Amino acid sequence: MGSYCRDMGTLASTGTYASIRRSSSSSSLSLRRRPVHYNNCFIPPFSSPLLPSSKKGNVNIRRLFMENIISKVSCSLLKVEDGTDDEACELVSGLELSIGEGADSINACLFKAMKNNNGCGILLLSDIFGFEDSSTREFAYRVACNGYNVLVPDLFRGDPWAKDRPKIMFEQWIASQDPQRMANDIAASTKWMVDEFVAAGISKKLGVIGFCYGGGRVIEVLARDQGACFGIGVSFYGTRMDPSIASDIKVPVLFISGDNDPLCPISVLRDIETTIGRGSQVVVFRERGHGFAHRPASPEEDGDAEQAFMIMRNFLNDGLVINN
């Protein structure tokens, strides 16, 4: 992966560990969750830091998030046809892409900040429910609202875990997801983002965020990358993590989890954070279980989800926007 990325150095500081108590009230939080409306608009090439590849067919538009399409874009993204609602494009533009060609192509969602775009890219790795899940897309939308360009690839090639499947089938399903194929897809998605930034004359490193299963893959991605493409990582309650590869990670990582999550032991996170160093942090929310930050199930979890988002936002801002 590192062969197509510029060596821009790494961030370094001291590691910290934080524990967050459950908020008794969400009134102190300055940011509120709100319904998400995916906008019916495309990315104008003249304002986008993610310019299309010059290779025809390398990136294909698949469809918009909403059925009532009001605009059309050619496969090269160089021409916008029909009327585009400027008001709809005010905050975030979203479209679905197919990266690559033939059997190796990967479906993905791209969310781009239309106002105050900071020129930074984020690769977001979903949980087991896949890149089309509404909770994942809402989170990606909110990250983009803070100025980022967020790419969410289809890690499971159209076969995510379904909530109505018998739990007894889970291990069989997860075993069917080839780790090497997934690693290749993540590498292809990373390369696409890097190439787009280079084409736009931007030489910033990327960030990577992951939830649950995707949070575990964050560790693998950063260990393979060793600071070549990515400058920072955020892992929300990562599962199936391998602490033995933490020493290969050359950038700071923020770990967010709950102390009531058997799928993500806090002791493992602390060990990984200590091994990485470089300003990595572990933030633990008390009385919280798995998935609370992007799938809050109560008003109390909703408040902690907001707090977790703000912590992540500040971490990304310091590592990607200010120090990149």
Between 28 and 302, whose confidence is greater? 302
- Least confident stretch, 13-22, 61-70, 196-205, 221-230: 61-70
Q: Give mean pLDDT, residues 10-17.
A: 33
- pLDDT tier for residue 19 given thresholds of 50, 70 and 90: very low
- pLDDT tier for residue 5 given thresholds of 50, 70 and 90: low
Q: Give mean pLDDT, residues 154-164.
A: 94
Q: Is the pLDDT of residue 314 over 70?
A: yes
At 51 the pLDDT is: 41
What is 2-31+100-322's CATH number? 3.40.50.1820
Q: What is the mean pLDDT of the chain?
A: 77
- Amino acid found at 308: A
- Domains of the chain, by residue range, sit at 2-31+100-322
- pLDDT tier for residue 305 given thresholds of 50, 70 and 90: very high
pLDDT per position as a tens digit, 268-300: 999 999 999 999 999 999 989 898 999 988 888
- pLDDT tier for residue 79 given thresholds of 50, 70 and 90: very low
Q: Is the pLDDT of residue 90 over 80?
A: no
pLDDT per position as a tens digit, 99-145: 988 888 999 999 999 888 999 999 999 999 999 999 999 999 999 99
Q: Is the pLDDT of residue 231 over 50?
A: yes
- pLDDT tier for residue 180 given thresholds of 50, 70 and 90: very high
Place of tokens 């509404």: 134
Q: Is the pLDDT of residue 224 over 80?
A: yes
